[in-house]
A and B are shown apart, each in its own frame.
Chain A
């Protein structure tokens, strides 16, 4: 019953005019960011994080979280109308979303994706409400060995999901870990890689790197791919269709799809490193394999759109669990969210929900409201987002550079950090071009200092023996789960990718 009491308390905090305004603003901004091809939630969060500096923590975190899950809603609009996913988590939505639009069913597809996103997101938040306090309770028994193992688990699973370019994924993570060692060593006070610079004593700040890699890097890559030259001639004109709303059959045939994939997406989202992309591909693959209409997949089957949409939104909710209860981000987006928490002096972890109930439950309650708002926005503001899709990259590009630059400077009024952001942007472009993983770098940069501190504490406790990892039951559990994930995830990843390849080959 405590959960309901806490949730009502959270609702009372979230439902104030100012907080609701920021929540709605976050939802709309998230959707806009989602509609820009190449710009996912991590880019949106990184670019807009500095904008929230002048705000109070509660509305700021609510707004950032709304940008995070709002981007999942927005990313699908381009998948359906343009056959261009807004971000990687909505790739699976193109498989049946675009064929539906081409078949003259863009309106029903857009409405059903909004409903599926709402169901996935809301089921995800319900599961957070129930499970987050339990996770927090369990994680209270965790010590440095468990935190080290969890950080490694997050990085390993992310790298495993990269697949064939795993070597480049590990190198990306190692670069992130190396950048994380810059600054004064907290245990001995010795400077590391500072080269006498006062600006580097505090270490390399995470935000300029994230903005550079995800903001500028993605923009440069989009220009490289020639997206600034392509017009929007291929956009499906949904407003000329006779029927906008889904049929009764659309609703009835996808009820169980939504139920199944909400749970699947949430579970995948909780796993550090897995995330919304793999959840959506897995959901598509699973749904196709159990469907009676297997042959219609890839040709405009509504369940083929609903499954990945439900799963990616449930996964983005699930990813909040390790963030809130362990302080360990499972993805690049939640790593940026963690940076936001830290910026306000808040350290997510086992005691976070107990020590900051207003913020934690205010955030969870706001996610219920945010999903409702996004459902309405997704359906009734589609014409607005279609107009945004039409803004060409050659106009959007310079604007993004300006926002990234001034946003980075506004954090610490530091020119060095601004230059670092530009450098990260250029490096990020080459990383994307040659198959490296900017997400692994950012995640490692956040997890690196935590992992190093935990490892050194562990070695101090155990007097230099690695046997401590096998003496503690919690550590053994984490090692077991990590091994299971390392075996299972590549198989599931391959299954999802095969389904995607089959659709591409068939279409």
Chain B
């Protein structure tokens, strides 16, 4: 997994460096350092170090892999967070928060139904009062208005 992550970052670094060389000039027309100077420096350094780190990781093999953790739980939490991001766009801040909290607590805080219901109801109310009423902050608007 570590090697896979390094390769993904390396691919990103190569793309970044390619743009720096292909689209951004090293010098301006007046002979000053151009918009491509710094990205080229950063990009090349990044590619070199990432190749080095990937080779190191490959040589080490799985010996240096981190201890096994709760992959399923962390992936569930990430998945639920992504669902929340989608719900926010569709239904707006407060309805999406209610759905997200209900869903997440039911998944990771199993069996504690009363506690989950109380949290699902009270947290959005607190958030609404804090962000919308007290701080007058922006709340995500809904793409589709709910009937309630």
B137 and A192 contacting across the interface, CB-CB below 8 Å: no
A54-B136, A192-B35, A397-B77 known; 7 new pairs, CB 8 Å cut-off, are: A188-B35, A221-B74, A405-B81, A430-B5, A433-B66, A434-B5, A455-B33
> What is the bound-complex CA distance between A456 and B69, given in angstroms?
46
Interface size in chain A (residues, C-beta < 8 A) = 61
Question: Interface of A with B (CB < 8 Å)?
Answer: 50-51, 53-54, 167-168, 170-171, 174-175, 177-178, 181, 185, 187-188, 190, 192-193, 216, 219-221, 223-226, 228-229, 392, 394-395, 397-399, 401-403, 405-406, 409-413, 415, 418-419, 422, 425-426, 429-430, 433-434, 452, 455-456, 459-460, 464
A418 and B140 contacting across the interface, CB-CB below 8 Å: yes
Query: In the assembled complex, how far is the CB of residue A162 from the closest CB belonging to chain B, in whole angstroms?
Result: 13
Which 5 pairs, one residue from A and one from B, show the smallest C-beta to C-beta distance?
Answer: A410-B137, A185-B35, A413-B138, A224-B69, A398-B104
Set A181, A185, A401, A409: member contacting B138, Cβ < 8 A: A409
- Beta-carbon contacts of B120-145 to A below 8 Å, as 1s and 0s? 00010001001100011111100000
B85 and A422 contacting across the interface, CB-CB below 8 Å: yes
- Beta-carbon contacts of B1-30 to A below 8 Å, as 1s and 0s? 110011001000100100100001100100
> What is the bound-complex CA distance between A177 and B89, given in angstroms?
30
Query: In the assembled complex, how far is the CB of residue B59 from the closest CB belonging to chain A, in whole angstroms?
Result: 13
A190 and B35 contacting across the interface, CB-CB below 8 Å: yes
Which residues of chain A come closer than 8 Å to B34, judged between CB atoms?
188
Which residues of chain B come closer than 8 Å to A192, judged between CB atoms?
24, 35, 39
A394 and B109 contacting across the interface, CB-CB below 8 Å: yes
A224 and B71 contacting across the interface, CB-CB below 8 Å: yes
Question: Interface of B with A (CB < 8 Å)?
Answer: 1-2, 5-6, 9, 13, 16, 19, 24-25, 28, 32-35, 37-39, 42-43, 45-46, 49-50, 52-53, 56, 66, 69-71, 73-74, 77-78, 80-82, 84-85, 88-89, 93, 97, 100-101, 104-105, 108-109, 115, 119, 123, 127, 130-131, 135-140
Which residues of chain A come closer than 8 Å to B16, judged between CB atoms?
178, 193
B49 and A190 contacting across the interface, CB-CB below 8 Å: no
A405 and B88 contacting across the interface, CB-CB below 8 Å: yes
User: Do A415 and B140 contact each other (CB < 8 Å), given the known contacts A224-B69, A399-B123, A430-B5?
Assistant: yes
Which residues of chain A come closer than 8 Å to B97, judged between CB atoms?
402, 406
State the main secondary structure of chain B at its contact with A. helix
Set A220, A401, A434: member contacting B74, Cβ < 8 A: A220
> What is the bound-complex CA distance between A411 and B138, given in angstroms?
7
Which residues of chain A come closer than 8 Å to B77, judged between CB atoms?
219-220, 223, 397, 401
Which residues of chain A come closer than 8 Å to B123, judged between CB atoms?
399, 402
B140 and A168 contacting across the interface, CB-CB below 8 Å: no
A406 and B73 contacting across the interface, CB-CB below 8 Å: no
| Best-buried of B49, B73, B123 by chain A (most CB within 10 Å) | B73
Set A174, A225, A399, A409: member contacting B46, Cβ < 8 A: A174
